[in-house]
Structure formats: structure tokens, C-alpha cells
Amino acid sequence: MTARIIDGKQMAAEMRTELKAEIAELKEQGIVPGLGVILVGDDPASKSYVTAKERACEEIGIYSDDHRLDAKTPQRELMALVEKMNHDPKINGILVQSPLPEGLDESEVVLGIDPAKDVDGFHPVNVGKMVIGQKAFWPCTPHGVVQMLIRSGVTIEGAEVVIVGRGDLVGKPLANLLIQKSDMGNATVTICHTRTKDLSYHTKRADIVVAAVGRPNNITAEMVKDGVVVIDVGISRVEDATKKRGYRLVGDVDFEAVKEKASLITPVPGGVGPMTITMLLYNTVESAKRAAGMDV
């Protein structure tokens, strides 16, 4: 058996086409979704990520209000900009790119964003609503994973899901989404982490394995059963002298070996990553619809 590849780039492109059509319809009603973006400092990875988000907004018709701030910007100035966006009717979603430079309090920034514009899904209000099954903005990467499963025809209801990683950005919220009593949930979820005594015991019985720990090739072929669905969220750099840049990107899963046992698997790169940005766009459109009083 060789796994079918879940192409995150293609899936993201399909969703963006759907969103572009929806935005065009909204604009006919005078509704223009808007995303406010704040980048503090000049971290190369953050700059690249923000640039990709800006291009994606332009591509599908979302208004983008971008602010690039110096790394030495004081907390009060950053918070003032966030508050300004909170009250700007043209802005439906606010993104403050993390990590922030040393000396800035990221928790204060998250708390300072209006939950109605928290399209990252990080504010405690949205997290709490998600946990108890109320309408909320779901964090982009976990939501992207759920969309990948559904759009690939994977049955989530009743599935044994093992999530390797208990982080606040992926592991915990994804577990909460998958156990919800909903069309996108009803799974039986186990969370494994660095203190799990026998990781293989859990992964071998899983119908779906989600790896999200940032450890290269952490999940091997011997750790999964035949026909498993594998979602690899992790991404790491490993040295590779054959590459011009001196390294290559790999996931948490030994892709070449595991794909021979899995039924479906995501590559790294080109898997979950493109879906994360797409779900940010999705949340921004949902926020615009809510602000317009549409029942969503």
C-alpha cells in the first residue's frame, strides 16, 4: 500500500476559490471583509509569513490594512494600534504576528484584541466558547486539519485519533474540536506528549495520527498500523549539504517509510501549512458576515 497524498496546496486553492466567490457576493451587498495586520520587528520567517497572508488577501478580495513596526516599539504604542483596529469598522479581523520581539508582552496583546475580531482564535473568550461548543473563531491550524480530514473523505465520527503534542496552538484545540458532538467531531481522542510512557502503544491503535511536536521523523513506520491516516503538522530544518541553502524542511513523520503503510498522508512542506493561512481568511470572512448581522 502506498498512501494517497493530501495536497494542502491544492485544497487551500480550492477553498480560496470558494471564498473569492463568496466575497464577490458580499461586496455586491456593500460588505468588504477587512484584515488588520501588525508585524513588529524584522524576523525573516514572520516577514515571509505576513507577506504570504497579504498576497492571499489581495488574491481573493479581502481589504488588508498592514502595519510594520520597529522591533523597539513600546508596548503602549502597540496596544494603541490594536485598540484603534478594534474600533475601525473596516477591520473585521486583527492579526498580530508572533513571536513578538523581546520585551513585548504577547499575552497582553492577545487579551487586547476584541474577541469579535480575533480571527486567530487565541483570545480566552473564543477558546472558552470553542471548548463548550458555542460559536467561536477556531484556531487556524487545528481548523485546517479538520477541513483536510473532511475534504479528503475521512470519517471522523467514531475514529480513534491520537494527537502527538499538547501545545496551546495545535494539540489542545484540535482535541477539543474533534471530541465535539458535531458533524466535524465525535471522535475518540488521545493526547500524547513528552511524558507519555509508551508512545507506540497509542499510535499503533490509531485510525488517525496527528503529529505536532516539532521533532524530525518522530513517528516511524513501526509506530502506525496499516491504513492509518497521518496528518503531519510539525516542521523542522535538518542539515542537508545537497541543498543550496544547506538544509531541508521535514515533518514529525518519517514520510518515505510511513507512506507505505498509511492510506492518506500529508507532506511537509505543502501539507497543513497552506491551510493555516486559508483558515485565517475564512475566519475574516465569517467575522465580516457577523458584523453585518448575517446569521452564520
Catalytic residue, chosen from 97, 118, 147, 252, is 97
The Cα–Cα gap between 96 and 120 comes to: 9
User: Is residue 244 annotated as part of the catalytic site, yes or no?
Assistant: no
Packing angle of the helix pair 171-179, 124-131 (nearest 10 deg): 40
Dihedrals φ, ψ of 43, to 5°?
Answer: -60, 125
Interior CA angle at 17 toward 120 and 89, to 5°?
A: 45
Question: Which string of DSSP letters, residue by residue, matches 66-121?
Answer: EEEE-TT--HHHHHHHHHHHHT-TT-SEEEE-SSPPTT--HHHHHHHS-GGG-TT-
**Omega of the bond leading into 269 within 30 degrees of 0 (cis):** yes
AA identity, residue 281: L
Contact 100, 69 (CB under 8 A): no
- Catalytic one of 53, 117, 259, 289: 53
Residues paired with 161 in a beta bridge: 189, 208
Distance of alpha carbon 140 from alpha carbon 166, whole angstroms:
16
Length of the chain measured in residues: 296
| Catalytic site includes residue 53 | yes
Annotated catalytic, 90? no
The contacts found for 24-31 with CB under 8 angstroms, 24 or more apart, are: 24/61, 26/285, 26/288, 26/289, 26/292, 27/61, 29/292, 31/288, 31/289, 31/292
Among the listed residues 118, 120, 232, 252, the single catalytic one is 120
Rounded to 5°, the CA angle 191-105-163 comes to 10
Q: What distance in Å separates the CA atoms of residue 85 and residue 92, rounded to the nearest whole number?
A: 9
Positions marked catalytic: 53, 97, 120
